[in-house]
Chains A and B, each alone.
Chain A
Amino acid sequence: MSVREESSAITAAGKPVSRFGARNWAGIVVVLVLAALPLFLANFTIFQLTMMLIYAIAILGLNLLTGINGQFSLGHGAFYAIGAYTAAILMEDAGLAYGWTLPAAGIVCFLSGFLFGLPALRLEGIYLALATFGLAVAMPQFLKLSVIEPWTGGVQGIVITKPDAPFGLPLSQDQWLYYFTLVVGLLLYWFAVNLVSSRSGRALMAIRDNPLAARAMGVNNALYKSLAFGVSAAFTGIAGALGAIVVQFVAPDSFTFFLSVALFVGLVVGGVGWLPGALVGGAFVVFVPNVAEHFNKALAGAVYGVILILLIYLMPTGAGGLVRKVADFIGRRMKSRPDR
């Protein structure tokens, strides 16, 4: 289902109708590969792939805000942190089952995002980026505050017990969490695609493309921009909750502003405005630092930087732009055949 819907999301980015079929197949293949992967891999690699999916969800949320609505955020790590802490506190203090912490984190982060989005309405472009950056920088300090230490565990953070596979399924804990994350991710992707191809999503894109004209067409810009912040934060917060469950630990210094920057980088590498790009972005966030480290431990940071620079030079519009170019090329080749 989510695979078929993918096409309408891309209509938003201006694609003709002719390649619906090809795109469906690509989506099905990606989902099948994702579903098969943990059957062949070691637990640690499965854990990494789970983190890839989790970051992909967080980036998907950021993409709704930046790619679809045109608002910048260099602070989504803060919402990730709020989601993670919500899950951790609810599981360890309130004894809530881990599954239920996801909607809870979603709601808490929706409200946080919406409330943050209200004053941020006055800010545009780089100024908004700066304000969100401030949020990201403040978050670890805030989480260490002694007033809330009874819940957050202060600098120590909170340790979470790792869930087993339910119903006696013959899956390792890592495999189970991977599939759990995959299903949550597919549902959220389906939601995002539906949103983008509906009245609300079009309003968000209209604001991005021409806020003045959007208002004249009856779009309440302030409301939709705040809602976009809320929904975006909810996605990222759910990712944070999943992250807490999978890593089994939350602490303030897991959520420094580097996390926000990583999400932003993942967004750009995947392609701003192209929803499936979130997966590419997630893979980048998890695996490229590893690759860099593998290459040369002492120079890992430099190698990471060089990879990033090369990527942005080679695909200035991210993976999304590259896919579009390739698809256009193939499309033209098919069209020029006389039997069409």
Chain B
Amino acid sequence: MPQQESAPFPLLAIRDISVAFGGIRALDGISFDLERGRILGLIGPNGAGKTTLFNCLSRLYTPTSGDILFEGKSILKRAASRMAEIGIGRTFQNLASFSRLSVRDNIRVGAHCRARTDMLSDGLRLPRMRRAEERINGIVDELIAYLELSSVADLPMAGLPFGTLKRAEMARALAVGPKLLLLDEPAGGLNHDEIGELGRLIRRMRDDRAVTVLLVEHHMNLVMGVSDKVVVLNFGRKICEGDPAGVQSDVEVIRAYLGDGKS
């Protein structure tokens, strides 16, 4: 496992964060750590607060209290658009494609933070623009090959099959060059074979791209199969944390899921 035992602090440390929407406490004093090179599964019934937590991590929501440390530093002062550059990439629960752009251009937008240009040099094709395009295209070509998207690369996203879109959005998130990858229900809408494939892909990304993964998923076989650690949320509270086997036998977890009518 590509893990740096020597690192003094975890890659991600969530410290007692709470989020409220009106009367609803979507998150209520959540804390956990995520070590480098690990895959953490975040589960919980519908409405438990999983996506809300992701939105805090990508700075779309600001917690009312608590702190989020990435590589030991608080991210709560950063703008949402500056999370990519420190190495936090994500996918969305429901697709969030740039639907009129091609698959390739979607991934290129993912690599936005990997180069710098300005509108004047872009419009005039100055060397700065060419250098940026070269760098971005290098990143994008590699990802298109990695995720086997070459046959659809130049087609617009709108109209592609669901599974392909999910893979394209995965490539877009990887183009950010993330140290931490947030996957919000990547298996949603995929068929049995595609889910098996996804599980292997998640491990592969961790192993050969040194990506740490925070995985939100309802598909239990997938989560239990790939995660090193599992955190369970229910009604905004953490009710359990541990290795997959331990979590599966936890009484409170079983009750939360049965109470919700899910298995």
Question: Are A215 and B80 in contact (CB-based, < 8 A)?
Answer: yes
Q: Is B145 an interface residue (CB 8 A)?
A: no
Which partner residue on chain B sits nearest A203 by CB separation? B112
Please report whether the interface of chain A is mostly helix, strand, loop or mixed according to DSSP: helix
Residue from the list A17, A198, A209 in contact with B117, Cβ < 8 A: A198
Instruction: Tell me the interface secondary structure of chain B in the complex.
Output: mixed
Residues of B contacting A231 in the complex (Cβ-Cβ under 8 angstroms): 119, 123
* A192 touching B123, Cβ below 8 Å: yes
User: Which residues from chain B sit less than 8 Å from chain A, CB to CB?
Assistant: 58, 60, 79-85, 89-90, 92, 96-102, 105, 108-110, 112-113, 115, 117-119, 122-125, 129, 132-133, 136, 154-156, 158, 172, 175-176
- Bound CA span A241–B117, Å: 28
Point out the residue from B60, B100, B101 that lies within 8 Å of A212, measured CB to CB: B60
Closest Cβ neighbor of B175 among chain A residues: A217
Chain A residues within CB distance 8 Å of chain B: 11-14, 16-17, 191-192, 194-195, 198-203, 205-206, 208-210, 212-221, 227, 231, 273
Q: Is the CB of A216 within 8 A of B100?
A: no
A residues less than 8 Å from B110 (CB atoms): 217
For A217, give its contact among B84, B129, B154, B158 (CB under 8 Å).
B84
Closest chain B CB from A244 CB (angstroms)? 24
4 interchain residue pairs of minimum CB distance: A218-B84, A14-B156, A218-B113, A198-B122
Closest A residue by C-beta to B136: A199
Give the contacting residue for A16; candidates B101, B105, B108, B155; CB below 8 A.
Answer: B155
Most-contacted residue by chain B among A202, A208, A213 (CB, 10 A): A213
> 26 A-B pairs, CB-CB below 8 angstroms?
A12-B105, A14-B156, A16-B155, A194-B123, A194-B125, A194-B129, A195-B123, A198-B123, A198-B133, A199-B129, A202-B109, A202-B112, A203-B112, A205-B105, A208-B100, A209-B97, A209-B99, A209-B101, A210-B99, A216-B58, A216-B90, A217-B113, A217-B175, A218-B113, A227-B119, A273-B100
Given the known interface contacts A198-B133, A199-B132, A200-B119, the answer about A209 and B154 at a Cβ–Cβ threshold of 8 Å is no
